[in-house]
Each structure stands twice: as structure tokens, then as C-alpha cells.
Structure 1
């Protein structure tokens, strides 16, 4: 036990310094007025009241949640077939395909997003190949969605692929022996067993998507504001750190609530499989 405590000590220090203290500082700023010092401050809820009574901020929050939801759904619909194909491939091919999915994540996300500006711009490759001259592809909701799906779908694919690879394939043979066709086997055996990977993928896609700020900034061109852009604007441009901190805390609560719901769904799914 003593050895475990010694090994855990550096991680505890890291969590306190890098996570707990910054969160407490953000909470402090969110509950104080602008210009307050640590030794002389006044508590207030005005920052939170301002957010929840401003229709524009609420609409931006709603838009962010909708975009994150759309991104997650698209990643599931596109990522599951890809992950299924990878999991069913021979080992050598599977490793190559996993590397191909992972490879883009080695490049900085900002650089990857910048590349889509050239692809979607007027006279770019996509317009030329598909004959879409005169069609606005850049600085639209579709461009933001495309950028988010492109950046986050590898996490969905890898999570689902991992759950599919861990699956006991003798269950597929048993299902076939009992007279189930491929569709029935997938719906009653494969998908339920891979649901934990889907849920993990949803968490890894939805949470960063809902708070993303540079993807909508680059591909939305400042015309498509999400909640992450509002937070960035409050800290960097406007200089209202207190209000920006309040929005950050609201987003932190929303994310923790989402994580709790995802965990409960995963536990319910795991319990259902054990009982069956």
C-alpha cells in the first residue's frame, strides 16, 4: 500500500496542479466581478445571470449542441462500417488499416483543418472535381461539420474497432448454428457486443465537438459562431475573463452531465449483457 502511494503521488500532484487548481481559479473568476483581485473581491452571480438571460448566447449554445450531435451521428454512421470492415480483415491488413486511420491524428489538428480551406475554397480541388463552381462550400455549416467529422472520426473508428476485435467470434458461429442469418447475427450479437465501443466513441467525439473553437473559426470564417468561439472571444478580444470563466464553467457542467449519462448508459448496457 505504501509503495502504491509513492507511485501515485506524482499523478496526484499533476492532477492538483494541472486540473484542480485551474478549475478552481476559473470558478473563482466566474463568481466575481471584473477587476477583482484575489485578496479583495466581491462574489456575484451576475455572470451566470447574464448568460442565461441573453437569447443570443443561449442560441449559440443550442447551435453548438446541435452541431456536436450531428457530428457524432455522422461519425457513428460512417465510422461503424469502416471499423467493422477493419475488424473483419486479416491481421496484416487490419494493422495497416488501423495505421491508416491513426496516421492523420499524428498531424496537428490545426494544420489538418487549414488544409480544408484550400480544398473547399473557390476554384479549389473539390469544386473542380465535382463541377461545383459558383457553389459556396467554405464558411458554411456544412464546412464546419465536414471539418469536425474529419478530425474526430478516427476516435470513433478506433473505439468501435477495439470492441469488435475483442468480441468472442465463437458467438457468431453459435448464432449461425442456431439458424440466424447475417443480418440477425449482426443485430442480436455483433452490435450489442460492440455497443460499449460505440458509447466510448460518442464520448470522444461529442465532448470535444461541442467545445471546439478553431474549426468553426477557420471553416466558418467568423460567420458561424459556436460556444467555443464565444469563450475565446471573451478571454482574448473582449477581455471579460469573469464572463468567459462563467461560460467555461457552464460548459464544464454540461460536459460532466454528458459523461455521467454516457457512463450510465454504458453500465446499463454492460449489466444487460451480463444478465443475459
Structure 2
């Protein structure tokens, strides 16, 4: 359980630092937007190149991934159906779906996979699926939603290659598929810049917590409850049921699938929501509540399966 606490403690420390900096007037809302923009356009693409460069792409086709995908698809569809019934706009629906189904595989997934599950490589398929499928799809839809003019199908298809995060993901994937290693003169600066991504996201999130409406006051409770319930209950439950009864996964694989599906909403969902100015308060509150609630959720899942 040490890895669970360490992962959450690291995230919490940087968020608290962001709150403190905002409270002291060191960073204002303009500074928060700058941090989010830096993370989106510069640091995150650099991080993705260096992370995916050394990934084992073959892991993405594992049986465990099918259970993970099932959890994501069912959770996402439930939220989309509810959003359609409520006549939610496209941008808010996209961000809400990410809040409900996009897990914190990097900041929390890696330490939990290493210390709780015993193998950090277990989180690689989740990271690859999110970076190469879910995130590009969400970004395309948000680009369509925020465009000032009606986009042609050609423009829609070309949108991913113009998005810095998607570009970073695909460059890293190509390097991994071809077994190419970047020369140190290129890799080292990218790694250094990529190191800003997670701190920038967390500090920006902390500033938004301090200077924006308090969590729970800027978003309807029903909407927030739906997102968090889908994230921490429906997604891991579906992954577990598919993994156990459809794929007959062994206990370690089943534990990994279920625990990783119960991770909270990722911080970069807030960065993306802020960048496109769509449902950023929902993203902020979903991250806050799901992060707090996922600690007991992960512990309960581990105790029940093991």
C-alpha cells in the first residue's frame, strides 16, 4: 500500500504548492493560464516523445487491454447518453467523458503499478491507449467544437497532425515501432523540457483551486456525482467483469486491470479543458473528488481481489 500513498502524496504536495503560490499572489489566473498553455504546447509533447520512445508497443494488444477498453467504452457511452438526454453541448460532453473514463495513468499509475502490482510495465498499455486513441479523438472533437468556421472532413482528418500533444504521441510511437533512439543532443533537451509537464499541470490545477470557485460550488452536484461514480465504480467494475468472466484473466492480471481502471481522473484533462475553455470547472472538481475517493477505492479493490 506504500505506493498508493506515495503516489497520492506526490500529487497532493504539488497541488498544495500551487494553492499556496496563488494565495501569496505569486501566481494569478493569467499565470495559471500560462502554466496550462506551457504544459499543453511544449512540455507535454516533449514528455510524450521521451516516454513512448522506450515503450513496448506489443503490450497494447494484450488481453488485459481488452478489459480496460471495455471499461472505458461502457463508461464513456453511459456519460454520452446522459449528456445527449440533457442536451449538453459537444465540448462539455467530450470533457465530461474524459473526466469519467480517462485515468491518471502517469502520475499515479506508474507508482501504483510498481509498488502495489509489482510491475511498472503493467500501466504501459493504458498509457498507450489513452495517448494514441482517446486523447487524439477528444482533441479532434474539441477542435471541431471550438472552430469558428464549419470544418470540412479533410480539415477534421488533418486536425490531429496539427495538435502538439497528438504529434508528440505519434512521434514517440514511431520511434518505439522502429526501435530508433534519438541522439542525446535531441533526447536530453526533450527530456528536460518534458520534466516541466507534470509540475506545470499540478501547479496550474492548484492555482485554479485557490482562485476559482471552491470544489463542489461551481458544478451541479448531480453532474459531478455522475462523473465520479462512473470513474470509480462503473469503469473498474466493467473491467473486472470482462477480465474475469470473458477473458478469464489470472489474479495478478485481473487485479492490475481493476486497480488501474479505478485510478482518478488525470490532471491533463483539466489542462485540455482549460485550453479549449470547455467545462474546466467540471474537470477541476472531478479530479479533486475522484483523487480523494480513489485512495479507499484502490485499497478495497486490492483487498477483495487478493
Interval containing the TM-score (normalised by the shorter chain): under 0.3
User: How does the TM-score come out when normalised to structure 2?
Assistant: 0.24
Larger relative CO (CA 8 A, sep 6+): 1 or 2? 2
User: How does the TM-score come out when normalised to structure 1?
Assistant: 0.26
